[in-house]
């Protein structure tokens, strides 16, 4: 655990804190597509992402989803964090976007470290700041952009997160993430292909110039 931890967080945390994390944390893994936290579940700990990416989703009354943002190495889930401290239920769903490794920190340590380590406090505040920014970006996208622009944004983000210009998704999966219907996505993707911004094959979308 030590090595991965240092690679992802070594420059952030002092030695003693890293020691404590190794001592108290437990390594967890999840495969692409695995559900990590479900809405309404009590949160048992806080994840420090070591490898891979996680997508954070909100759900409406009909059970349909909306992607809020992605988490990457070095990130933690401020939403989870927030839930831990308040000991409330999760308001979001977290799903592994790729194969993922993270360290689970038990809630009990969080309050302690917040008092003890300045670097931990800064990390926590920095996380909140990042997550608030990403929520704002999500709001901007939903409130101010049309579907075609949102779709381009989605494809860009997805390619970046997966470090792969070819996106391996069906139109239906994209529609779920964006809280719209498959037909709409197919229509817009086809338009993007005609504009030479992407190329389409079955189960994959290659980003050319977005």
DSSP H helices, the chain, are 2-9, 15-24, 78-86, 107-116, 118-144, 147-161, 171-178, 182-194
Q: Is 185 helix (H, G, I), strand (E, B) or coil?
A: helix
The number of residues that bind a copy of itself (CB under 8 A) is 34
Residue of the chain from 153, 179, 187, 206 that contacts a copy of itself (CB under 8 A): 179
- 153: contact with a copy of itself by CB under 8 A: no
Q: Among the candidate windows 6-14, 29-37, 99-107, 111-119, which touches a copy of itself by CB under 8 A?
A: 111-119
The b/e string for 101-124 (b: 16+ C-beta within 10 A; e otherwise) is: bbbebebebbeebeeebebbeebb
63 binds, among DNA, a copy of itself, none (CB under 5 to 8 A by kind): none
Residues that bind DNA (CB under 7 A): 146-148, 170-172, 179-184, 186-187, 189-190, 193, 200, 202-203
- 138: contact with a copy of itself by CB under 8 A: yes
144 Cβ contact list (under 8 Å, min separation 6): none
Packing angle between helix 118-144 and helix 107-116, nearest 10 degrees?
Answer: 110
* Shortest Å distance, C-beta 104 to DNA: 32
For residue 154, give the nearest of 102, 97, 114 by alpha carbon: 97
- 118: contact with a copy of itself by CB under 8 A: yes
**Residue ranges binding a copy of itself (CB under 8 A):** 58, 60-61, 66, 68, 78-79, 82-83, 85-86, 91-92, 114-115, 118, 121-122, 125-126, 128-129, 131-133, 135-136, 138-140, 142-144, 179
């Amino acid at each position: 655990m030590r090595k991965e931890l240092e690679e992802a967080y070594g420059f952030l945390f002092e030695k003693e804190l890293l020691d404590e994390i190794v001592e108290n944390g437990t390594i967890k893994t999840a495969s692409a597509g695995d559900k990590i936290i479900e809405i309404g579940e009590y949160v048992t700990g806080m994840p420090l992402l070591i490898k891979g990416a996680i997508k954070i989703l909100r759900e409406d009354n009909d059970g349909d989803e909306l992607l809020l943002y992605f988490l990457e190495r070095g990130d933690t889930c401020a939403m989870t964090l927030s839930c831990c401290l308040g000991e409330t239920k999760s308001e979001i769903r977290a799903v592994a976007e790729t194969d993922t490794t993270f360290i689970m920190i038990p809630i009990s340590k969080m309050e302690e470290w917040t008092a003890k380590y300045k670097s931990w406090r800064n990390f926590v505040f920095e996380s909140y700041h990042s997550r608030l920014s990403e929520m704002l970006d999500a709001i901007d996208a939903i409130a101010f952009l049309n579907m075609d622009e949102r779709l381009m944004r989605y494809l860009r983000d997805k390619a970046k997160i997966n470090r792969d210009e070819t996106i391996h998704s069906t139109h239906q999966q994209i529609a779920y993430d964006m809280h719209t219907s498959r037909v709409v996505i197919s229509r817009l993707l086809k338009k993007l292909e005609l504009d030479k911004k992407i190329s389409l094959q079955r189960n994959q979308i290659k980003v050319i110039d977005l």
